[in-house]
Structure 1
Amino acid sequence: MQGGTVLGKRAATGSRRRNRRKRSSKGRLLLPVLALALASLGCGAALAHFRGGDDGRDTAAGPPRPTATTGSPAPAPAPPSPKPTPSPKPKPKPKPTPKRTAVPQAGAGSFTTAQATGQAVGNGGELRRYRVQVEDGIELSAREAATEIERILAHPRGWAAHGRGRFQLVTENADFVIRIATPDTADRLCAANGMNTHGELNCETTSGVVVNLKRWMLGSPTFAGPAHEYRHLIINHEVGHEIGIRQHMGCPGPGRLAPVMMQQIKGLNGCRSNAYPYDEEGIYITGPIVS
């Protein structure tokens, strides 16, 4: 029994040794398999890192590739606009100097009568017919001068508009004549009636009014207005004598309108130059009587 026991023990021990060897052999066989499996898993993980699934798009790490869009790429920011350079201010153009018409000193001494007639103007008083004459040889139309004088006598601030007489332009049978003459001829006509006009002034004679061409064309240095307005003063002043206002007037006060019967060409004495007998409200402009 004892020997059998010993034999049995040995048999059992040998069996255990054989079992250990078998397990060791199996373990040695499994190691390469496990290593291969691990390697396969590593490759799969690496592939999974570089392959993006079923759509086959590259999903490798790094900056993403831009995707195409239907829109245009965003424009680059525009450079800042340069500040506009201020344009230099244009220099004011100098005002043109009024062209002075050359006035002849002397003429032929004969006159052309304007062939023009008109309607009587005015709302009261005696009717006075007049004709207009211009000295021959000067560049002034007698007809145009007559038309301008007719407008002057019909002005709403004139004599006719305020009952101081009615006036009518005619070519013959005139009650008085308005002559426009060169300075030398005007002096001669005025001197025949005892007046010295010094080549500068106008006058009223027994036959009518004498207008110095120089004053008609150039106006007066004391008159604050154009020559065509000064012509109103010439006609209104001399026709004022013709209707019976024989004396001259002076300035009524500083800053006030000068009377049309004032010899304004000789100085205003503080008054404002004025070409009309009446103001805009229809009030007669008067002043102190002077010799």
Structure 2
Amino acid sequence: MGKRGVPASRRRRGSRGARRRGSARRPLGRIVLGGAALGVLALGGGAAVAHWTGGEPAAASRPSAAAPETPGTSARRSPQAPSPQASGKASPPPSPSPSASAEKEPDPPATVPHEGPGTFTTADASGAKVGTGTLRRYRVQVEDGIGISAADAAREIEQILAHPRGWAAHGRGAFQLVSENADFVIRIATPKTADKLCLAQGLNTRGEYNCETTEGVVVNLKRWLQGSPTFSGTPAEYRHLIINHEVGHEIGIRTHMTCPGPGKPAPVMMQQIKGLRGCVSNAWPYDEDGRYITGPIVP
């Protein structure tokens, strides 16, 4: 999960299938991470927008004036989505207990490479649309030299977003894996590279957290491979939480939640890596009966 940010409205990403200036038009294959690969989203009111789910903002993000937008980056964001109703919609079919990938998950590596070259490979993969509502096309990029196949990661993320307890299954939007012309990007990066991508927008991820930026989602390789010490499931199950939490921000849920009560499932929009506060760890937005798992809003 990323780091806790100051909620703020964003400029709308645009109509269905709109291209992002930075991520949608970048050529396929390897990209090079610049010193400020992700620009800060500048709104008309002069406030910078970015989101994270743990720790504190970097000192550079504290002034009220927005940093100038980095040339070539996208400032379009998803439309603000209405808060889902706790009652939920028609119940989807029960989901499998852990996912098949979770059952076959090997032991997590004892160590994770702290840094990589800062270049990325885009998954040469595409898939069918899942879900209804606003279509958001996404592509997946993996930092080079970290031992993870971009295509395999893309397929795993595709399965997460198509899960019967996920956003797409409950009318919160439609998603489609693409290799170009994407609305947002999901990057898996070493801790140092993830920090650099997030810090470009004033987000201090401290080598531990994920973040959501104006271009999309940055996943810390450490969390992807090792999960979280506060999460009771496998790293593969924790990957569901990473994607569901950060994509929750991507579809317009700007606030965080906290535990609704001892023994209850933690909301997916809770910063579970920072402690469960009596809740049970949970990786999905909805329960098996189709009810949205919610909790008090964090101010």
| Structure 1 residues 1-291: aligned runs within 5 Å | 98=107, 100-122=109-131, 124-291=132-299
Distance in structure 1 (CA, Å) of the matches to 2:142 and 2:233: 24
Distance in structure 1 (CA, Å) of the matches to 2:233 and 2:240: 11
**Is contact 1:101-1:217 (8 Å) kept?**
no
Letter in 2 for 1:233: L
Distance in structure 1 (CA, Å) of the matches to 2:269 and 2:224: 17
Structure 1 residue runs of 5 or longer lacking an equivalent are 1-96
Off by >4 Å, runs of 4+ in structure 1: none
Distance in structure 2 (CA, Å) of the matches to 1:99 and 1:215: 10
Q: Secondary structure at the match of 1:249?
A: coil
TM-score when normalising by structure 2: 0.64
Q: Higher relative contact order by CA 8 Å / sep ≥ 6: 1 or 2? A: 2
Structure index of larger Rg: 1
Distance in structure 2 (CA, Å) of the matches to 1:195 and 1:176: 18
1:253-290 residue CA offsets vs partner (Å, 9 max, x unmatched): 00000000000000000000000000010000001111
Structure 2 residue runs of 5 or longer lacking an equivalent are 1-105
Letter in 1 for 2:274: K
TM-score when normalising by structure 1: 0.66
Distance in structure 1 (CA, Å) of the matches to 2:110 and 2:221: 11
Q: Secondary structure at the match of 1:211?
A: strand
**Is contact 2:190-2:221 (8 Å) kept?**
yes
1:171-216 residue CA offsets vs partner (Å, 9 max, x unmatched): 0000000000000000111111221111000000000000000000
1:146 CA drift (Å) = 0.1
Q: Secondary structure at the match of 1:133?
A: strand
1:137 CA drift (Å) = 1.3
Q: How many residues align?
A: 194
Distance in structure 2 (CA, Å) of the matches to 1:220 and 1:182: 16
Q: 1:229 to 1:99 in 2, by over 3 A?
A: closer
Distance in structure 2 (CA, Å) of the matches to 1:99 and 1:131: 25
1:98 CA drift (Å) = 3.9
Task: Give the RMSD, CA atoms, in angstroms.
Answer: 1.1
Q: 1:226 to 1:212 in 2, by over 3 A?
A: same
- Between Structure 1 and Structure 2, the one with more helix by share is 1
Letter in 2 for 1:237: H
Letter in 2 for 1:120: K
1:101 CA drift (Å) = 4.6
